[in-house]
Homo-oligomer: A and B are copies of this chain.
Amino acid sequence: MSKISVLPPSGFRDFTPEESAARNFLIERISEIYLSHGFQAIAMPFLENLATLEGKGGGAGNEKLIFKVLKRGEALTRSLEAGAANLADMGMRFDLTLPLARYYSRFKQQLPKPFKVFQIGPVWRADSPQKGRYREFYQCDVDILGSREIGAEADCMAAILKVFSSLQVENVELHLNDRRLLAALKDSDLSEAQWAEALVTLDKLDKVERAGVEEELTAKFGRVPEGIRLVLDGASLEKLMTIESESVSSLKSLVEVLTAAIPGAKVQFNPSLVRGQDYYTGTIFELRHPDLSGSLGGGGRYNRLLEVFGGEEVPAFGGSIGFERLFLLLQEKADKLNVSSTPHVFLPLFSAEMRAPLMKLALEMRAAGLRVDIYPDAAKLKNQFKYADDRKIPYTVIIGGDELASGVVKLKSMAERSEEAVPVNELVHRLVQLSLKSK
């Protein structure tokens, strides 16, 4: 047999048992918090029709990054005969927002209004893999569809901020801006397309600093447009009120509400915040952390995205936590992801005859909430104990034929390197005591 590579595809990852336990813990924690804020989970396929993904919804060029699924059978043959056009019919979703827009358009008659929803799951992008950038990664979205006021903004952001505070990730900054304000800042002699280009340049402020932005703008337009200069000068909300009062009032209210309602929230207006997606129509936000370049998440209002699916305008707001970056941040502070999926108790197998009695005993222990591992083979005890050590199982119960006959077993603690004799009918109680203590 020829040897096949043991590696996953480039840009994709395998996770160790420890990483998987930590990731599952994190997903569960985020779910709980989103639920506690009144959001409901929904689920959609991981694949969508290409027409859905390539519609006007993608934005930010993400539709260029779609992993496309090859047609099959006759459909493929026909496409090849027709000059290899349209070889694919489906694609991997590249975000969770566009599928949500399809979902809401499909079910809106039967959904509560507004619809408060969350999704945690993988998305795929055919980016060039590099350190910290993967082709398969998780997003954790909260969205409110059908609400026009800043309550939707406040609600989503509060839930997202709560995720960070509950995981003791301190110093998360919430940066706020509004696309309407950015639009209003356009110099009158620039076209819409030129202004979009200017904003793309402004968006690089973090990376290239003011001098870099000004240089690029001057190269493109022969000058730094007045609206951008205002932003670079750090114009205050008060000053900008005269330019676009609606978005600026809503930004002011948002900063006030979030600051008043969430103790310790670091909320700030940031006029240079642009964000990539084409589909944003109002408030945009981003979560930043001093220890990371780039963002921990973000989102915005996308009141027109649902028109893609033929319905009327639906006011919509949503945000997302960058799961992989949060995970990385927590991994670096190892104690923050201190979860264990290790069994509490190990039962070595002394002989094949002990298998059924041990399994029955394990049933009782498991019913009491303990995780119990029986060694599957009657192997050398040395190997069995090495296994328990490797898995860091804190307690081992020695039950051979003698112990079964006498009704008294030996209970060994790995941490304390101690051993005690316990009557078998008190064993479960004793173990529950011990493993609760060891937590």
> Which residues from chain A sit less than 8 Å from chain B, CB to CB?
1, 3-9, 12-17, 19-21, 23-24, 28, 31, 35-38, 40-49, 51-52, 55-56, 67-70, 72, 80, 84, 87-90, 92, 102-103, 105-107, 112-114, 116-117, 122, 124, 126, 136, 144, 147-152, 154-155, 158, 162, 253, 256-257, 260-263, 307-310, 341-343, 349, 352, 355-357, 359-360, 362-363, 366, 369-378, 383, 387, 390-391
B4 and A309 form a contact (CB under 8 A): yes
List the number of copies, as a whole number: 2
Q: Give the residues in chain B near A150, CB-CB below 8 Å.
A: 355
CB-based nearest B residue for A158? B359
A17 touches B40 (CB 8 A): yes
* Contact indicator A37/B4 (Cβ below 8 Å): no
10 additional contacts (CB under 8 A) given A36-B371, A70-B87: A3-B309, A4-B51, A4-B308, A20-B41, A21-B40, A47-B92, A67-B90, A69-B69, A147-B376, A151-B377
Beta-carbon contact of B72 and A126 below 8 Å: yes
Give A31's nearest chain B residue, CB to CB. Answer: B24
B112, A149: Cβ atoms under 8 Å? no
Q: Is the CB of B261 within 8 A of A151?
A: no
* Consensus secondary structure, chain A interface: mixed
- Tell me the smallest distance from the CB of A28 to a CB of chain B, in Å: 8
User: Chain B: which residue is nearest A64 at the CB level?
Assistant: B72
Q: Are B374 and A6 neighbours in the complex by a CB distance under 8 Å?
A: no
How far is A69 from B13 in the complex, measured between Cα atoms in Å? 17
Contacts of A158 in B (CB 8 A): 359
Contact A151 B8 (CB under 8 A): no
Given A6-B105, A151-B376, A355-B154, check contact A390 B15 (CB 8 Å): no
Q: How far is the CB of A93 from chain B (nearest CB, A)?
A: 10
Query: Which B residues touch A307, using CB under 8 A?
Result: 1
A369 to B33, CA, bound (A): 10
Measured in the bound complex, the distance between the Cα atoms of B205 and A118 in whole Å is: 46
- Shortest CB-to-CB span from A431 to chain B, Å, is 13
Question: A156's closest neighbor in chain B, by CB?
Answer: B376
State whether A40 touches B20 (Cβ < 8 A). Answer: yes
- Which residues of B lie under 8 Å from residue A154 when comparing CB positions? 355, 359, 376
Please determine whether B260 and A356 come into contact, CB atoms closer than 8 angstroms: yes
Q: A5-B51, A14-B106, A45-B9 are in contact. Are A151 and B375 (CB under 8 A)?
A: yes
Whether B43 and A103, one on each chain, are in contact in the complex, defined by CB atoms closer than 8 angstroms, is no
Q: Return the 8 tightest CB-CB contacts between A and B, nearest first.
A: A38-B373, A151-B376, A3-B310, A261-B359, A12-B45, A6-B106, A260-B356, A17-B40
Min Cβ gap A380→B in Å is: 12
Query: How far is A116 from B363 in the complex, measured between Cα atoms in Å?
Result: 18
Given contacts A38-B374, A69-B69, is CB(A308)–CB(B1) below 8 Å? yes
Q: Report 11 cross-chain contacts, Cβ distance below 8 Å, ordered by A residue.
A: A1-B308, A17-B41, A19-B43, A21-B41, A35-B341, A38-B372, A47-B67, A68-B69, A87-B87, A113-B383, A114-B377
Please, which residues of chain B bring their CB within 8 A of the CB of A363?
162, 261-263
In the complex with contacts A3-B310, A4-B51, A14-B107, A112-B355 CB distance below 8 A: no
B8, A45: Cβ atoms closer than 8 Å = yes
The distance from the CB of A141 to the nearest CB of chain B, in whole angstroms, is 14
Residues of B within 8 A of A88 (CB): 70
* A92 and B1 alpha carbons, distance in the complex (Å): 23
Query: Shortest CB–CB separation between residue A345 and chain B, in angstroms?
Result: 9
CB distance from A78 to the nearest CB of B (A): 13
Q: Within 8 Å CB of A28, what residues of B?
A: 28
Chain B residue nearest in CB terms to A104: B6
